[in-house]
Structure 1
């Protein structure tokens, strides 16, 4: 992956399209369906949309609601901030929330359109550290795309898991994969791992361990110690901590050091 600042027109168009996709997922739901548990602990379908509204409202400069929140799913300060927005919106009906979502995202698109090239490239604090604002917006695209999967999985319907948006969002799943190989799976110096991702977003990923660090590489110097093959949807959900590999027996294969591979599939989750 490169640190090049993403193209503003491309990212903005994809954000707009993804927000439209989220709208299609929830438009017309009755109140019972709106309150269906999503794939995220403690959050309903309603809460997921409320979370997106909260994040985009913050980016518009709106103050965080001053409300009390609690819950086992709140693990840190960011979680508390997210929950404050969600709690403040819970009294709304589903259609009222959707109207708020449309209004906020329309204002965000206008704000993005008015950004100068300098502001798009400016380094700002982001969930992935200090990075260009444009990279931050790619993280936002990833976040919204993942939340589309969360909603679809909760409702038991299909979501768009491939295509241009998924191709761009998928890039945010790759940094830190080396950490999962070393810190999570316990791979040692000289180990090579290949992850074959099939399905809507196919990828062949090679991770080489040098000393106590591991990085994505174009190719390995020799045969991989283990080859993990799985679909892009499962890979995304595992990386996002949305599911456990124990719920997906038969949906992946391991060739080579299966002990290493088993540890890896159980430690793919990361927090973005």
Structure 2
């Protein structure tokens, strides 16, 4: 079994990067609207805080998490927004330390998890490494919303490899959540990493192919940018269809971001 420590370290680094973006913001900046309709910066951090605590519950209190999951199943279209809305009402001076405390506790719990342990989640049970990877993906995506709101350009890092991997692995889910039949054959995905190395997934000879910068692919699969504004390309009709619907996260896809030419 591979050592999961690197992904734990990457999750910590991703969270710390976002923390630096919001740590010195005044209360008025926490109320700025982000590209996610109806969500302010406070909503973004509140959502991360809530999900970190849900993850901690899954790792440390299986029965407690199952009770939480039942509430989610009872209101699948509103549960996430309700959690973010509740947290966003907390003053930033309280919300920021709450987020820090929750993610620190989750970090410790994941690092101390027994090798091979799997924990309940809203879909399939997850290993500690998979849970950390999912938390990193979500932290990066919501951090992108915050960065866009503040007009900050974040240099891409090798941590995007985790986001890209989830996006590739979630291909069939993206089709299924829309009621579509997933393609039967694997795709070849070739992404150019931030330092110029090539990240590859799938059979080299696969006729259906996706290529482009890793950053653009990650923006696409987290639905933080419209396909028309990204340099991700598809060869083959199934791959082309996938790029229209790709998503790395569970749950309803949402409307996604409009193309820049369509904004406003």
How much has 1:20 moved relative to structure 2? 1.0
Of 24, 27, 51 in structure 1, the residue corresponding to residue 23 of structure 2 is: 27
Structure 1 unpaired stretches of 5+: 65-73, 207-215
Q: Determine the C-alpha separation between the residues in 1 that align with 2:132 and 2:218.
A: 19
How much has 1:54 moved relative to structure 2? 0.6
Q: Determine the C-alpha separation between the residues in 1 that align with 2:248 and 2:52.
A: 22
How much has 1:40 moved relative to structure 2? 2.7
Of 149, 155, 171 in structure 2, the residue corresponding to residue 177 of structure 1 is: 171
Q: How does 1:205-224 map to 2 (within 5 A)?
A: 205=200, 216-217=202-203, 219-220=204-205, 224=207
Q: Determine the C-alpha separation between the residues in 2 that align with 1:107 and 1:271.
A: 23
Q: How does 1:34-183 map to 2 (within 5 A)?
A: 34-61=30-57, 77-78=75-76, 80-113=78-111, 115-118=112-115, 121-127=116-122, 129-163=124-158, 165-177=159-171
Q: Determine the C-alpha separation between the residues in 2 that align with 1:234 and 1:81.
A: 29
Check conservation: 1:162, 1:200, Cα contact below 8 A. yes
Counterpart of 2:14 in structure 1 is: 18
Structure 1 stretch displaced more, 144-153 or 262-271: 262-271
Provide the TM-score with structure 1 as the length reference: 0.69
SS at match of 1:129: coil
Distance 1:7-1:138 versus aligned 2 partners, 3 A rule: farther
How much has 1:84 moved relative to structure 2? 3.1
SS at match of 1:96: helix
Q: Determine the C-alpha separation between the residues in 2 that align with 1:269 and 1:81.
A: 19
Check conservation: 2:43, 2:88, Cα contact below 8 A. yes
Check conservation: 1:50, 1:89, Cα contact below 8 A. yes
How much has 1:193 moved relative to structure 2? 5.1
Q: Determine the C-alpha separation between the residues in 2 that align with 1:188 and 1:106.
A: 40
Q: Determine the C-alpha separation between the residues in 2 that align with 1:186 and 1:159.
A: 36
Q: Determine the C-alpha separation between the residues in 2 that align with 1:261 and 1:123.
A: 32
User: Once superposed, what is the RMSD of the aligned Cα atoms?
Assistant: 3.6
How much has 1:174 moved relative to structure 2? 1.4
Structure 1 stretch displaced more, 193-202 or 18-27: 193-202
How much has 1:10 moved relative to structure 2? 2.2
Of 189, 198, 212 in structure 1, the residue corresponding to residue 192 of structure 2 is: 198
Check conservation: 1:148, 1:159, Cα contact below 8 A. no
Distance 1:84-1:253 versus aligned 2 partners, 3 A rule: closer
**Structure with higher strand content:** 1
SS at match of 1:7: coil
Counterpart of 2:220 in structure 1 is: 238
**Which protein has the larger Cα radius of gyration, Structure 1 or Structure 2?**
1
Aligned residues: 237
How much has 1:98 moved relative to structure 2? 1.3
